[in-house]
C-alpha cells in the first residue's frame, strides 16, 4: 500500500479510503467487521463515515458500529485515520442540523460517544452551509481542536469558490483550515474538473472522490446484478439513458481483460490531483476487488478511449468554454 500526504498536511493516508455508508443498511454488522479487519490487513488506514449514516436503521448507526469494532480491540484506533462528518439532520430540533457553532459542538461530542473514541482525526463539513458565517464555523472548529476533540478539518460537496473563501478566512485567523475536500468524481461525473480540482491544487487541499464507481453504474451493471444497490430504481433509469456509453465501456473493459469496476477506480487514481478515492464495499470480496485496482495502470490509448466514451469538460474553466 502506498501512503500520501492529505493535502497540505503532514498526515499520511492510504491511496484507498474505506467508506462505510453501506455498513448497517446494506451490510450486516458481522460482515462490516470483517471488511474493516481485512482493510487493516491490506494496509488501508483511512476510514470514512458520517453521523447521518445508518439510513433505515437510524442516523448514527454506522458510527455506533465502528465504535463497537474499535472497542473490541482498542489497538485498532491508533492504526487508522478516522474521519466523520457534520451537517445532516440528527434530530427534530431546529438546531439539530447545519453548521452553527451550537450544532458543530453537539454533533462532534455525539459522534465521539458513538465512535467510542476521544478524538476524530478528520472532521468534515458534509455540505456548505450558506447561512452560517465562516467566523462562527471556524470559532467552533478551533475550540474543538484546542480541546483535542478533532485534529484536522475537511469539507465535502463544496464549490471551488467555497474552498477559496474558506482558505482565505482561515488565513486571516492563522488557522490551518480545510485540508481535504470530498467531491463526487468518476468517469460518469467529471464536473469538478472545471473548478474544484484546480482550486484543490491551488490551495493544497487533498481530493477525496466519493462515488468513484458512479454509484455502481461503472461496475458492469449490464450484467444485470440481482442484489445490492445496483437494483435501485434510480440506477436502472440511468442505465436506460446511458446504455450506449455503458455498452462501449464494458466492451472496452472486456477487450483489455479488466473488470469494469477496476478500470473505473484505476482511472480516478490516475489523476495526480486525487489523494484517496472512497470505496464502499458491501462484502470482503468487493473490498479485495477494489484493492486490486491499485495495481492496474491504464495506458495512454486506454485513457484516450475512456475520454471518448465518457467525455469530460475538456479543460479547466474558463478554457473549457472560452478562450
pLDDT of residue 172: 97
* pLDDT for res 224: 59
Q: How many residues does the chain have?
A: 323
Res 71: pLDDT: 97
Residue pLDDT, tens place only, 43-86: 999 999 999 999 888 999 999 999 999 999 999 999 999 999 99
Nearest to 178 by CA among 47, 8, 4: 8
Which residues are CB-neighbours of 32 under 8 A, at least 6 positions away? 20, 23, 24, 65, 69
Full set of structural domains in the chain with CATH: 3-309 (3.20.20.100)
Instruction: Output phi, psi for 219, to 5 deg.
Output: -105, 20
The alpha helices in the chain, defined as continuous H runs, are: 29-41, 61-72, 101-115, 134-146, 160-172, 196-203, 233-255, 260-269, 284-292, 300-309
Helix (H, G, I), strand (E, B) or coil at 116: coil
Residue pair 129/87 in contact by the 8 Å Cβ criterion: yes
Ranges in the chain, pLDDT < 50? 230
Q: Which sign does the torsion angle of CA 295, 296, 300, 306 carry? A: negative
> What is the pTM (predicted TM-score) of this model?
0.94
- Provide the pLDDT for residue 225: 54
Encode pLDDT of 139-182 as tens digits.
Answer: 999 999 999 999 999 999 999 999 999 999 999 999 999 999 99
Q: Give me the pLDDT at residue 241, please.
A: 86
Contact between residue 59 and residue 90 where contact means Cβ atoms under 8 Å apart: yes
3-class secondary structure, 181: strand
**Given 53, 123, 185, 249, which residue is catalytic?**
53
Q: Is 61 a known active-site residue?
A: no
What pLDDT does 201 receive? 97
Amino acid at each position: 500500500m502506498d501512503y500520501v500526504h492529505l493535502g497540505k498536511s503532514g498526515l499520511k493516508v492510504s491511496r484507498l479510503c474505506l467508506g462505510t455508508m453501506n455498513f448497517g443498511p446494506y451490510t450486516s454488522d458481522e460482515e462490516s467487521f470483517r471488511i474493516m479487519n481485512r482493510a487493516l490487513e491490506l494496509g488501508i488506514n483511512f476510514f470514512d463515515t458520517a453521523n447521518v449514516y445508518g439510513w433505515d436503521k437510524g442516523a448514527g448507526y454506522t458510527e455506533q458500529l465502528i465504535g463497537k469494532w474499535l472497542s473490541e480491540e482498542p489497538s485498532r484506533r491508533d492504526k487508522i485515520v478516522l474521519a466523520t462528518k457534520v451537517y445532516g439532520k440528527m434530530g427534530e430540533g431546529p438546531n439539530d442540523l447545519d453548521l452553527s457553532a451550537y450544532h458543530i459542538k453537539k454533533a462532534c461530542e455525539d459522534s465521539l460517544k458513538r465512535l467510542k473514541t476521544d478524538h476524530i482525526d478528520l472532521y468534515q463539513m458534509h455540505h456548505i452551509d450558506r447561512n452560517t458565517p465562516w467566523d462562527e464555523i471556524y470559532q467552533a472548529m478551533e475550540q474543538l481542536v484546542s480541546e483535542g476533540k478533532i485534529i484536522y478539518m475537511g469539507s465535502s460537496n463544496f464549490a471551488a469558490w467555497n474552498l477559496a473563501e474558506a482558505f482565505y478566512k482561515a488565513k486571516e485567523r492563522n488557522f490551518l483550515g480545510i485540508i481535504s475536500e470530498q467531491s463526487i468524481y468518476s468517469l460518469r461525473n467529471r464536473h469538478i474538473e472545471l473548478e474544484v480540482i484546480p482550486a484543490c491544487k491551488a490551495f493544497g487541499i487533498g481530493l477525496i472522490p466519493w462515488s468513484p464507481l458512479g454509484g455502481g453504474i461503472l461496475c458492469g451493471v449490464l450484467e444485470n446484478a440481482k442484489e445490492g444497490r445496483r437494483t435501485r430504481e434510480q440506477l436502472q433509469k440511468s442505465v436506460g439513458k446511458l446504455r450506449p456509453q455503458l455498452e462501449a465501456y464494458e466492451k472496452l473493459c472486456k477487450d483489455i481483460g479488466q473488470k469494469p469496476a477496476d478500470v473505473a477506480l484505476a482511472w480516478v487514481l490516475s489523476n495526480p490531483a486525487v489523494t484517496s478515492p472512497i470505496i464502499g464495499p458491501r462484502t470482503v470480496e468487493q473490498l479485495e476487488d477494489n484493492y486490486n485496482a491499485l495495481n492496474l495502470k491504464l495506458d495512454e490509448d486506454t485513457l484516450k478511449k475512456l475520454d471518448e466514451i465518457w467525455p469530460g469538460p475538456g479543460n479547466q474553466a474558463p478554457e473549457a468554454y472560452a478562450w
